[in-house]
Structure 1
Amino acid sequence: MEKKRITKGISLIFLLIMAFIWIVPLLYTILSSFKSEADIQSSAFTILPINWVIGNYQDVLFANTSAPVAKWFMNSLIISVSQTVLVIVLVSLAGYGYSRMKFKGRDAIFIFLMATMMFPAVVNLIPLYKIIDTLGWVNNYMAAIVPGAAGVFNIFLVRQFMQGIPIDFDESARVDGASDFQIFTKLILPLIRPVLTVVALFTFTGSWNDFLWPSIVFNEVEKMPITPGLQLLQGMYALDVAHALTGALIAIVPTFILYLFTQKYFMESLSLSSGVKG
């Protein structure tokens, strides 16, 4: 009993240290967004602002024509939401096909699909850009939405979750005259809602935070998403820390809110059989 208590105490201390390491930079960013640039550049380090200002938010959102953060924010929102919806549709259908339907070469195709995860994504950048350029999608939302719509890991995650649903459910539905489409929409989809929520969370967050690929396919300032666009908030010769921190804080708001509303499903999905009750 005493050993168990000591283990719990050590685990608690470790978690508190990790939370402190994560929270302090975020807290500093929040407080610094209300500081003037002079206060931030001052040699006297302070956590709290000496003079609280809201001008940073006004400058970043409305008064910066060379770096239109509000427009970037909407671009990211459109791209991330569109890609998330597309991913949910594609991976749920693919997961159903690989887990419930029987066709020749199914397992071989799935193994080959999983093998592609061994290649780093950077290997695909040049051929993928050539495809996007050929389709005329450079500086177009489609360039950021379509390439990441069928992530192999998401297909694997959904398939494994479906594997935990007894096949007897499908057979009972077929006896009642249900088609594959009805089984998928009325039986399987409600059961896999937790894992689809996690896929949506991962997809939205990954799309919103993606920096490298949007930096390649977008070269018009007005059409950029917010993550690659934030680099334009820095001056030509010196970094404007106050505005950069304010822009970064604005950029993390959607993903933070999304996690608050989906953390319940995220925890449920840690068990691949959590979608099946009883």
Structure 2
Amino acid sequence: MMNTSNRLQRSPGIALAAMAKIAVYALLTAWALAILFPIYWMFLTSLKPGSMVLDVPPQLIPLKVTLQNFKEIFDTAPVARWFLNSVIVTVAVTSGALISDSMAGYTYSLIKPTGYRIFFFMILGCMMIPDQIRIVPLFIMLKDLNWYNTYAGLIVPFMGSAIGMFLMRQYMSTLPIELMEAAKVEGCNEFKIFTRIVLPLSKPVIAVVAITSFVGNWNGFLWPLILTSSTDMRTLPVGIASLQVQFVTNYGIMMAGAAIAAIPVILIFFMFQKYFAKGITLGAVKE
């Protein structure tokens, strides 16, 4: 009898917990749909004929699908060249950032040279400075180096990031120091310890830094807009924005270009989405 009464007492609580969980899932689902709707609308508009793009009321399910917008954008603009420029810049910047950030993280977390705290706090200070403040002096410096409208100007200044160094340092600080000491006893120098022990154990943070660097540089707009003047040196976001003219805008072509630019980022996200969740806690390691 006591077991039966206990079950009856617990059942309202279980029901309330189940209802709360259902409500949370419903809220999260609605939020996810709201976030995904602009992406859906972008792809939907890119597949609509030009005469149906601005229909009122708008059609959430297209009555006619066409690839004419994609064909037209490749016929009227050097999209392939812009795409190649974005690939070159993004891959080069991401590769350089991984090398420099991982080496800095190893230095500040495990080697700890004299005065390393001062330099590390300077890096943290750089994270508080908006990128827009550095644009003018950086532009003048690159102009003096004759790097205006060149790949070097788009790549070299960003082959390293304060947030990447911070994440690398915080993660590598959690690695067991006994492994490094045992490697030194076996005769390994710092370079071998870094490449054969630290880097393989740091794959999660390396993946997070690579993903954030790739997405940030692939979507970068302001700096390529300022530093490039010729059509052939534009990256994909800047090139797509240039398709908008003063009096007439072909939204079908614009959305087709945006879809082309979004596809690599979406693929990268679905391939490495588990690392996005890990990246939330990487910087939460205490000294």
Amino acid at match of 1:101: I
Amino acid at match of 2:122: F
Equivalent in the alignment of 2:248:
238
Instruction: Calculate the TM-score normalised by the size of structure 2.
Output: 0.89
1:161 and 1:262 map into 2 onto residues whose CA distance is 18
Aligned: 1:104 with 2:114: yes
Deviation at 1:14, TM superposition (A): 2.2
Deviation at 1:269, TM superposition (A): 4.2
2:146 and 2:222 map into 1 onto residues whose CA distance is 19
Q: Deviations over 1:53-96 (max 9, x none)?
A: 111111112x11xx322211111011001111110100000000
Deviation at 1:111, TM superposition (A): 0.9
Equivalent in the alignment of 1:248:
258
Equivalent in the alignment of 2:225:
215
1:106 and 1:70 map into 2 onto residues whose CA distance is 45
Q: Deviations over 1:192-226 (max 9, x none)?
A: 01110110100010001011111100111111000
Aligned: 1:18 with 2:31: yes
2:157 match: secondary structure: coil
Aligned: 1:91 with 2:104: no
1:208 and 1:239 map into 2 onto residues whose CA distance is 24
Equivalent in the alignment of 2:186:
176
> Which protein is bigger by CA-based radius of gyration?
2
**CA-based RMSD:** 1.6
Amino acid at match of 2:72: D
Of 113, 127, 137, which residue of structure 2 is paired with 1:127? 137
Unmatched segments (≥5 aa) in structure 2: 1-12
Equivalent in the alignment of 1:116:
126
Of 52, 56, 60, which residue of structure 1 is paired with 2:69? 56
Amino acid at match of 1:109: F
Conserved 8 A contact 2:168-2:206: yes
Aligned: 1:139 with 2:149: yes
- Relative distance call for 1:272 and 1:232 in structure 2 (3 A) is closer
Which region of structure 1 is more displaced relative to structure 2, 35-44 or 176-185? 35-44
Deviation at 1:229, TM superposition (A): 1.3
Aligned: 1:9 with 2:22: yes
Amino acid at match of 1:198: V
Aligned: 1:199 with 2:212: no
Aligned: 1:148 with 2:161: no
Amino acid at match of 2:220: D
Deviation at 1:35, TM superposition (A): 0.9
2:88 and 2:112 map into 1 onto residues whose CA distance is 37
Aligned: 1:229 with 2:229: no
Conserved 8 A contact 1:39-1:50: no
Which region of structure 1 is more displaced relative to structure 2, 230-239 or 176-185? 230-239
Q: Deviations over 1:93-116 (max 9, x none)?
A: 000000011321111111122112
Deviation at 1:161, TM superposition (A): 0.3
Deviation at 1:42, TM superposition (A): 2.8
Amino acid at match of 1:37: G
1:223 and 1:269 map into 2 onto residues whose CA distance is 33
Amino acid at match of 1:230: I
1:229 and 1:215 map into 2 onto residues whose CA distance is 9
Which region of structure 1 is more displaced relative to structure 2, 88-97 or 26-35? 26-35
Q: Deviations over 1:116-137 (max 9, x none)?
A: 2222111101000011111111
How many residue pairs are counted as aligned between the two chains?
A: 270
Instruction: Calculate the TM-score normalised by the size of structure 1.
Output: 0.92
Conserved 8 A contact 2:81-2:232: yes
Amino acid at match of 1:103: P
Identity %: 32
Deviation at 1:36, TM superposition (A): 1.3
